[in-house]
């Protein structure tokens, strides 16, 4: 692995690579799934923080009714953020699921016997 790779330590720590082994294709798909999940959490946190800052600017010195409206808008945005990230992650995981299923199909095709001669009539 390239030492400049930011994910090298993660991949090295993965169970399939322990002891200097290499990652199997299944392990690689699982690493991708965990990275996608972690990235989704980071994005949701960032978007939630931006929404919080927007709420704080709006509600700074506003009367109670405006602060409540701003708080409700913030809560709606948090719900939208969670739903958006869940949809995106579900889509990414479905694609990885298809890739995993393809691994089984490819392995099954490799296991079929190859006939080198024709059977007698």
Alpha carbon separation from 59 to 46, 63, 115 (Å, rounded): 20, 8, 76
Cβ proximity of 81 and 44 under 8 Å: yes
The residues, any chain, with a CB within 8 Å of residue 93's CB and separated by 6 or more, are: 33, 36
- pLDDT score recorded for residue 20: 55
Name the DSSP class of 6. T
How confident is residue 10, by pLDDT bands cut at 50, 70 and 90? low
Q: At residue 42, does pLDDT exceed 80?
A: yes
- Rg over alpha carbons for the chain, rounded to the nearest Å, is 24
Q: Is the pLDDT of residue 107 over 80?
A: no
**How much is the pLDDT for 104?**
83
Residue 89 vs residue 107, higher pLDDT: 89
- Pairwise CA distance, residues 121 & 113, whole Å: 20
């Amino acid at each position: 692995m390239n030492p400049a790779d930011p994910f090298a330590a993660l991949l090295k720590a993965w169970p399939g690579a322990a002891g200097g082994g290499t990652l199997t294709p299944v392990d690689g798909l699982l690493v991708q799934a965990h990275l996608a999940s972690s990235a989704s959490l980071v994005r949701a946190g960032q978007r939630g923080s931006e929404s919080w800052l927007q709420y704080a600017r709006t509600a700074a010195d506003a009367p109670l009714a405006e602060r409540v409206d701003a708080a409700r808008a913030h809560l709606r945005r948090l719900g939208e953020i969670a739903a958006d990230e869940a949809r995106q992650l579900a889509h990414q995981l479905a694609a990885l699921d298809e890739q995993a299923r393809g691994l089984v199909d490819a392995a099954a095709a490799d296991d079929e016997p190859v006939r080198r001669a024709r059977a007698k009539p």
